[in-house]
A = this chain, B = another copy of it.
Amino acid sequence: MQTLEKEKPVQSKRNRLVIVCSKGSLDMAYPPLMLATTAAAMGMEVHLYFTFWGMNMITKKTIDSLKISPVGNPAPPMPNILGMIPGMSSMVTSMMTKKMQKMKMPSIREMIATAKESGVKFHACSPSLNMMGLTKDDLVPEVDDIIGATTYHDLASEDAITLFV
């Protein structure tokens, strides 16, 4: 007698990660890069789509000077007023940067290089580029291409983990 085994439906794991990077602050630059690099190391296909303030993460002029806003993040144990003292944002940023160096955390420039080596794809948003008056030459060499929202949706719709940072 033959047993017709009902094939167990293969739980297809999603193997793609597509993150919109829309923030230009140092604290919101780390999470997408950390998630991207880890996913790439796991063998996933990873796409980062940089738009609005996120363009600062991939622009030569700004990549090394991203700052933490002590005012916009009421969570740190610091009264809002401190955010208003000139240079305070730089001071908090420098404090956090030193802490990160102690922990041997790479800089954003280094994280982008590592992500690229791991196979992460870097896409710059075309309208954002125009709005900011930038050209491809103003972007770091890791950027693969300049795409619009249509291409983003194509990437995101193929069963990907999607996040908006």
A residues with CB within 8 A of B: 9, 11-15, 17, 19-20, 22-28, 30-31, 34-35, 38-39, 42, 44, 51-53, 56, 62, 66-77, 79-81, 83-89, 99-100, 103, 105, 127, 130-131, 148-150, 152-153, 156-165
Residues of chain B within 8 A (CB-CB) of A12 are 9, 159
Q: Which one, B19, B30, B131, B153, contacts A44 given CB within 8 A?
A: B153
Which residue of chain B has the shortest Cβ distance to A57 in the bound complex? B75
Contact indicator B86/A83 (Cβ below 8 Å): no
Residues of chain B within 8 A (CB-CB) of A30 are 52
Which residue of chain B has the shortest Cβ distance to A23 in the bound complex? B75
Residues of chain B within 8 A (CB-CB) of A26 are 74
Contact indicator A62/B79 (Cβ below 8 Å): no
- Closest Cβ of chain B to A49, distance in Å, is 10
Q: Which one, B27, B52, B69, B75, contacts A66 given CB within 8 A?
A: B75
- Closest Cβ of chain B to A73, distance in Å, is 6
Residues of chain B within 8 A (CB-CB) of A105 are 131
Contact indicator A80/B83 (Cβ below 8 Å): yes
Q: Can you give 17 contacting A-B residue pairs, CB < 8 Å?
A: A11-B159, A14-B159, A15-B157, A25-B74, A25-B75, A31-B51, A31-B164, A42-B150, A44-B157, A67-B74, A69-B72, A69-B80, A71-B72, A71-B80, A103-B130, A103-B131, A105-B131
